[in-house]
């Protein structure tokens, strides 16, 4: 599957290093794009309280999973739409 280009305002799922046991992940929105695999986010905790996360790795389809550290990935619905477009 090709790389999905991140843009400001898109929703991703956030997995923070301090929250490695969270399931499901926190909802997050992209606030700045460094490149296709590095973004800044506003993340919403379970109570809906936002906090910022900077320089977060964005896992793209086909990327190896890297444990630890703040990371995010596309929600299943986004992956399904991208898969239909190819």
Number of domains comprising the chain = 1
Residue 74 lies in a domain: no
15 three-class SS: strand
* Domain assignment of residue 34, given as a range: 1-60
Residue 20, pLDDT score: 60
Q: Distance between CA atoms of 28 and 61, rounded to whole angstroms?
A: 18
Q: Are 23 and 10 in contact (CB under 8 A)?
A: no
Residue 72 lies in a domain: no
Residue 67 lies in a domain: no
Look at residues 67, 51, 49 and name the one whose alpha carbon lies nearest to residue 59: 67
Which whole-number Å values give the CA distances from 11 to 29, 45, in the listed order? 5, 14
Residue 81, pLDDT score: 87
Residue 66, pLDDT score: 78
Residue 2 lies in a domain: yes
List the chain residues with pLDDT less than 50.
Answer: none
33's enclosing H/E stretch is strand 26-35
Residue 49 lies in a domain: yes
Residue 6 lies in a domain: yes
Instruction: Please state the pTM of the whole predicted model.
Output: 0.89
Residue 82 lies in a domain: no
Residue 76 lies in a domain: no
């Amino acid at each position: 599957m090709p790389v999905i280009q991140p843009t400001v305002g898109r929703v991703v799922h956030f997995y923070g290093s301090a929250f490695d046991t969270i399931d499901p992940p926190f909802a997050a929105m992209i606030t700045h794009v460094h490149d296709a695999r590095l973004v800044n986010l506003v993340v919403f905790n379970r109570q809906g309280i936002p906090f910022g996360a900077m320089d977060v790795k964005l896992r793209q389809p086909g990327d190896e999973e890297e444990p630890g550290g703040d990371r995010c990935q596309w929600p299943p619905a986004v992956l399904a739409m991208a898969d239909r477009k190819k």
